[in-house]
Amino acid sequence: MSSKSPFPEFDFKWPNFDQGFWDRFSVPGIDNNALMASQKKNFEALVKANQKAAEGYQNMMRRQGEIMAESMQAIQESVGDLMKANDGKDLPKKQAELVEKTVGRALKHMKELAELAIDANSDAFKIMQDRAKESIAEMQELAEKITAGRK
């Protein structure tokens, strides 16, 4: 079997990414290893923030499922109550109680889900905010080293 491509115009030769390759891009006074380490920390913080957000949204989705089950149970109970009150005089009172209870429960659930979303986003934002502060400090330190090297 030949290793020659039938389409030589599309052959791509990957560069050799050894240390000599990266040395061609080095800038005097800049520590490439420190820059790479900083970028690695940035990426790790992004991954951690996404994990936190995903955990938060999983909690929110789980709670939505629980709320749905609770709502179905409440509907069944309410229909039963309305059927018992079907003699006429209790029906308007039972309907008003049902509306009041349903609206109150819906508002409570909306608030709870909003708080879960806020928590998920806040945790992720805090991770990125902390990393941004660290990154700024790292860049200031690097700038100071470059300035000191010029003197």
pLDDT in tens, 29-87: 777 778 788 889 999 999 999 999 999 999 999 999 999 999 888 888 888 877 776 66
* pLDDT of residue 21 exceeding 60: yes
What local confidence, expressed as pLDDT, does residue 66 receive?
Answer: 93
Is residue 68, in this structure, part of any structural domain at all?
yes
pLDDT band at 2 (very low <50, low <70, confident <90, very high): low
Please report whether residue 102 resides in a domain.
Answer: yes
Give yes or no for residue 22 having a pLDDT over 70: no
> Domain for residue 7, yes or no?
no
Assigned domain for 52 exists? yes
Residue 87 pLDDT: 65
Task: Output the CA angle 43-48-50, nearest 5 degrees.
Answer: 95
**pLDDT confidence of residue 5:** 67
Q: Which of 43, 45, 33, 41 is nearest to 142 (CA)?
A: 33
- Residue 127 falls within a domain, yes or no? yes
**Residue at 27 is within a domain:** no
Reply yes or no on whether the pLDDT at 1 is more than 60.
no
Q: What's the pLDDT tens digit per position in 113-129?
A: 999 999 989 999 999 99
Residue 91 pLDDT:
75
Q: Does residue 24 sit within a domain?
A: no
pLDDT at 9 over 80: no
Q: Give the structural domain span for 144.
A: 37-150
Residues 6+ apart with CB under 8 A from 41: 131, 134, 135
Please report the pLDDT score of residue 35 as a whole number. 79
Look at residue 2 and tell me if it is in a domain.
no
In angstroms, the CA 117 to CA 131 distance is 22
In total, how many domains does the chain have?
A: 1
